[in-house]
Amino acid sequence: MSERAASLRTLLATLLLGEEERARRAAVSLRDPVLRREVGRLAYQWRVLPPLAQRVKGRGLVEEADEWSRWLLAATTESAWICRRAAHALPRLEQRGAPYLVFKGVAAIATAHRNPAARMVSDCDLLIREVDLEAVLEVLGREGFAPQIPGDLDAWRQLLRERAFPDHDFIEVTHEDGTTIDVHWRIHVPRLEAYRPSELLERAVRGEVLGRSLRVASTPDLLVLTAQHSLREHLAPHVAVKDLLDTRAWLRSGGPAVFEEALAIAGRAGMARGLASMVTCLARLDPSNDSVALALRSVDRRLPEADRVAAGQLANAFRAQLEAGSLHKAVVALSRPSWATFRRFAAGRWHGLRNPDYRAYKFRHEGRAHRWRDARRFVRQTVGLLRRDGSAYRAVARECEALIGASDRVG
């Protein structure tokens, strides 16, 4: 089963991100209806079915009655609905005098993909100033969005500060129709003082979603934010493949000058290795891609050897997870143990034990079967870490430690 899962992950990554000839050869295997269904289901779970369908389009592999078509219809409907809600609600924030920007999925639609049918989204990610948080929640509340947190706002902020893995400060607000907006007011990077939300908001540009104008992060910031997102998720393929697709699209649309600016911003924020790792992953999968090759040249020219080596190790971690499955967060932390990590882990477990509302919130998407599988994965990977080199774990842990450590400097 694990070998089958590994082959499916690798096949999907090759189809989506591999060079044209390798992708063409891989697409031939989809003539097997069982394999096609499995790959399509995995692509839907990873939220990358539209670009996969586009890549194999014209090869006679997807029929009108195929499950892919039904999944694509569901994906398009969900993405369009979320974009519609965001396009309606977010301009109200500007009217209130609360600057904002969107990033990740909705921003990718606004700046690169142009059409909700081309990019699956599960929610809308919003960045604001912390000082505007109450006003933003009030405006969104009038639009039908309610916070999804245990307890009041002050208690939630305290929980965010004491998490085992504090990589961003946010609150989920959900509409009665199920649409979710993730409201962020701090994105953790190694040098927080060089990447404040106010600076990102000043660099924001206008983008269009379903004919409505929204404030969107600049393309250089989108590249850095996407690298941060993949890194805090340990470059797990179910997250990183989608982020790599967005990164490739922005490299193509922005050109070398935009990537140079992104690399400068990433350097000031301590995210140069993370951004370089995204380019390295893309270059290894498709060395013939011109925009990726130009970005890799910039990395080679501007970053010191130690940073390039670290980026390569992160790319190795991505490849290792295609072959062996996602790294367990707790095992990553164990690969580079520290008192700060232990303290955070213990504080998170203590909150879970003493606060049933927080425990219900934290595990609201996880049933007993999921937690049992997670425990077995933890044991299996811990044993594997003791037997193997563990360099993939340590490479990811080193960079994530820098992200998490930044939260200790927040006053």
Average pLDDT (342-348) is 67
Tell me, what's the pLDDT at 58? 61
| Within a domain: 244 | no
pLDDT-derived band of residue 350, with 50, 70 and 90 as boundaries?
low
| Within a domain: 200 | yes
Q: Which range has highest mean pLDDT (25-34, 254-263, 349-358)?
A: 254-263
| Within a domain: 300 | no
| Within a domain: 290 | no
Q: Are residues 80 and 49 in the same domain?
A: no
Q: Are residues 90 and 209 in the same domain?
A: yes
Average pLDDT, the chain: 85
Does 14 score more than 60 pLDDT? yes
Q: Are residues 94 and 138 in the same domain?
A: yes
What percentage of the chain carries pLDDT values higher than 90?
A: 54
Q: Are residues 96 and 159 in the same domain?
A: yes
Task: Give residues with Cβ within 8 angstroms of 319, minimum separation 6.
Answer: 281, 284
- Residues 406 and 67: their CA atoms lie apart, in Å, by 45
| Within a domain: 181 | yes
Does 257 score more than 50 pLDDT? yes
Tell me, what's the pLDDT at 64? 46
Q: Are residues 126 and 14 in the same domain?
A: no
Q: Are residues 355 and 378 in the same domain?
A: yes
Does 25 score more than 80 pLDDT? yes
pLDDT-derived band of residue 398, with 50, 70 and 90 as boundaries?
confident
- Residues 104 and 400: their CA atoms lie apart, in Å, by 19
Domain stops at, among 62, 95, 115: 62
CATH number (domain holding residue 156): 3.30.460.40
Q: Are residues 34 and 123 in the same domain?
A: no
Average pLDDT (185-197) is 88
Total domains in the chain come to 3
Tell me the β-bridge partners of 171. 183
Q: Are residues 6 and 100 in the same domain?
A: no
Q: Are residues 81 and 213 in the same domain?
A: yes
Only one residue has tokens 């389009």, namely 57
Tell me, what's the pLDDT at 364? 56
Tell me, what's the pLDDT at 68? 87
Q: Are residues 58 and 88 in the same domain?
A: no
Does 315 score more than 60 pLDDT? yes
| Within a domain: 297 | no
Tell me, what's the pLDDT at 67? 81
Does 65 score more than 50 pLDDT? no
Average pLDDT (219-238) is 94
Average pLDDT (338-344) is 67
Does 21 score more than 70 pLDDT? yes
Tell me, what's the pLDDT at 295? 97
Average pLDDT (176-199) is 90
Domain hosting residue 358, numbered range: 327-409
Q: Are residues 364 and 385 in the same domain?
A: yes
Average pLDDT (189-212) is 91
Domain stops at, among 62, 85, 110: 62
- Residues 354 and 352: their CA atoms lie apart, in Å, by 6
Tell me, what's the pLDDT at 197? 93
| Within a domain: 248 | no
Q: Are residues 9 and 132 in the same domain?
A: no
| Within a domain: 228 | no
Domain stops at, among 23, 41, 62: 62
